[in-house]
Amino acid sequence: MSNYVQRPVPQVKQRPLTEEEKKVKIMQFLQQKRETFAVNILCNMVQSEIDNLISNSSAPSAIVKMAVKMADELINELYPMPEEDKANK
């Protein structure tokens, strides 16, 4: 048997994020949420509209646009941005 004692590894302290880094992280989070919401909305819409999609060649693009618009509305409702951030977009 060995007498090796495992010592704790010293923790490296992370520096605090700058305002720009915080904004980038928030935008990445919102972008991921938007994509997830849009895909889920689209999947549910397609399941209920499959007959219309088969018979109408312009329906797919309309449904995709509607799903993205619904995802944007959901993001705005769930994660409202302060007025100054909206002006900067």
Residue 25 lies in a domain: yes
Residue 62 lies in a domain: yes
Residue 7 lies in a domain: no
Residue 29 lies in a domain: yes
Residue 11 lies in a domain: no
Sign of the Cα pseudo-torsion (12, 16, 20, 24, in order): positive
Residue 36 lies in a domain: yes
Can you give the residue range of the structural domain that contains 68?
19-88
Residue 54 lies in a domain: yes
pTM: 0.63
Tally of domains in the chain = 1
Render each residue's pLDDT in the chain as its tens digit; 89 residues: 567 888 888 888 888 989 999 999 999 999 999 999 999 988 888 887 777 666 777 777 888 898 999 999 999 999 888 775 555 55
Residue 9 lies in a domain: no
Is the CB of residue 46 less than 8 Å from the CB of residue 63?
A: yes
